[in-house]
Amino acid sequence: MALVTTKKMLLDAQKGGYAIGAFNVENMEMVMAVVAAASELRAPVIMQTTPSTVKYASLKYFYENVKVAAESVDIPVAIHLDHGDSFDLAMQALRTGYTSIMIDGSHNPYEQNISLTKSVADSCRPSGIPVEAELGKVGGKEDDLDGGRGGLTDPKEAAEFVNRTGVTSLAVAIGTAHGIYTGEPKIDLERLSQIRNNVDIPLVLHGASGLSDEVIKECIKRGICKVNFATELRIAFSNGVKKVLDDIPDTYDPKKYFAVGGENIKQLVKNRIKVCGCDGKVNN
């Protein structure tokens, strides 16, 4: 089917008490694996690209990959700009055909974050494209994104931020981090509940790679409607490629080792979809 926006996906998840898995993809094989996993489990799915991924190829390259994948299945598939770092990039994604856009102004002072986020939300609204923003700052490092030690979302600020910007979903900082955790993450679940009480739009969890299934499920119970996975997909794909080259060093056909990397992605994504509880949510 044709690409869809994330609006209905996330509102359905919010109503149903589950979350949508959102998976960062780096190449065609990852796109194929993610959509195959979602299709087998009858789950709606979001595929994402970051600014650094876009630099590697282009918005158009990834859009066309995901578009073709979506047309090959009968489940809702969306393509999302993850951590859009400027108004210009957000507008380029909008013009390219992305069906969901994140503008990340969390590195800016509060008022500047509001101004930038509102400008993107206002520009996307006439086209019906939902906009995600971030308040607080998810820590850690991934690609060109460096959140440092992060900063937690203020529940009271969250309500004002949503009202003033008009965003349709909000990524919250509750102790998660991008990249690989160096210790046991301390997730502020009570803060998440307070944000949920103050904000009525779907909430998003970044930095889920490395969190336990139990923590992710508890976050969903407390209002998370979209869960982002990136680093662990990269690790799974790379491990598959490495295994083939270690076992059969003279392998020269990339299809052979990419297939193993892709199968690793497929199995991981199926697991994450089940953790999010969105499996079986697409009616036949």
Mean pLDDT of 80-91: 97
CATH of 7-276, one of 1.10.10.10, 3.40.50.300, 3.40.50.1860, 3.20.20.70: 3.20.20.70
107 labelled ligand-binding: no
Q: pLDDT value at position 208? A: 84
Is 250 a catalytic site residue?
no
Q: Express as a percent the part of the chain with pLDDT over 70.
A: 93
Per-residue confidence band for 18, with pLDDT thresholds at 50, 70 and 90 = very high
Annotated catalytic residue, options 82, 143, 154, 279: 82
Buried b (16+ CB within 10 A) or exposed e, 199-217: bebbbbbbbbbbbeeebbb
179 labelled ligand-binding: yes
Q: Which position has the higher pLDDT, 208 or 201?
A: 201
pLDDT tens-digit map of 135-191:
987 754 545 554 445 589 999 999 999 999 999 999 999 988 756 555 567 899 999
Distance CA 17, CA 34 (A): 22
Mean pLDDT of 68-94: 98
Q: pLDDT value at position 213? A: 94
Q: pLDDT value at position 179? A: 60
231 labelled ligand-binding: yes
Handedness of CA 126, 129, 130, 134 (dihedral sign): negative
Mean pLDDT of 187-202: 96
pLDDT at 69 over 70: yes
Mean pLDDT of 72-87: 97
Domain boundaries defined on the chain: 7-276
104 labelled ligand-binding: yes
Alpha helices in the chain (DSSP H): 7-16, 28-40, 51-56, 59-71, 87-96, 110-124, 155-165, 189-198, 213-221, 231-247, 254-276
